[in-house]
């Protein structure tokens, strides 16, 4: 678990949606958010270039988190259809609670084909559908590092996301 000072940041009660949460930095973020107490909507991003099943991977990650006593819910979207992403916040609100933050892990800029544009369209649709006050965060890796690879820069970013959401949660509870 992440440490801030002597105690880990807490995200109890927050609902965080993570798109492309089944591999690499997205999976690591979903795991860290869940370990910090957030309810995480693990969104597998399906697309034709993917050589695995996004829905199955989302379910497996949620099962592993559940086995550890954490709460995560599996979802899947086809990144070629941004309207699916636009429906996610309402679906998650019906399944759990309103979304407090959405994080979209975009493909690396050197990713060939139409996938980067498809993810940007998904991110825009998702941002437009979030409830008022919800945070929208995007992460574009510097380069394609492999599906299960996180860099030092990724790890710094992961800490900053968890810490900033924890600060938001602390401000919200002090109001």
pLDDT in tens, 90-102: 999 999 999 999 9
Q: Is 9 domain-assigned?
A: no
Q: Is 130 domain-assigned?
A: yes
pLDDT tens, 92-137?
Answer: 999 999 999 999 999 887 888 898 999 999 999 999 999 999 999 9
Q: Is 141 domain-assigned?
A: yes
Residue 34 sits in which domain range?
Answer: 15-168
CATH at 60: 3.40.50.720
Q: Is 37 domain-assigned?
A: yes
pLDDT bin (cut points 50, 70, 90) of residue 3 is very low
Number of domains in the chain: 1
Start-to-end C-alpha separation, the chain: 27
Q: Cβ contacts of residue 133 below 8 Å, gap of 6+?
A: none
């Amino acid at each position: 678990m992440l440490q801030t000072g002597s105690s880990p940041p807490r995200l109890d009660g927050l609902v965080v949606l993570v798109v492309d949460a089944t591999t690499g930095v997205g999976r690591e973020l979903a795991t860290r958010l869940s370990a910090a107490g957030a309810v995480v909507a693990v969104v597998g991003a399906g697309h034709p270039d993917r050589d695995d099943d996004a829905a199955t991977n989302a379910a497996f990650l949620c099962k592993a988190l559940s086995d550890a006593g954490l709460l995560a819910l599996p979802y899947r979207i086809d990144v070629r259809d941004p309207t699916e992403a636009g429906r996610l916040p309402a679906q998650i609100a019906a399944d759990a609670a309103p979304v407090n933050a959405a994080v979209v892990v975009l493909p690396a800029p050197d990713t060939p084909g139409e996938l980067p544009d498809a993810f940007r369209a998904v991110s825009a649709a998702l941002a437009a559908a979030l409830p008022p006050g919800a945070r929208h965060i995007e992460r574009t890796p510097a380069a394609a590092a492999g599906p299960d690879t996180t860099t030092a820069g990724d790890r710094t970013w992961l800490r900053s996301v968890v810490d900033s959401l924890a600060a938001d949660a602390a401000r919200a509870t002090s109001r």
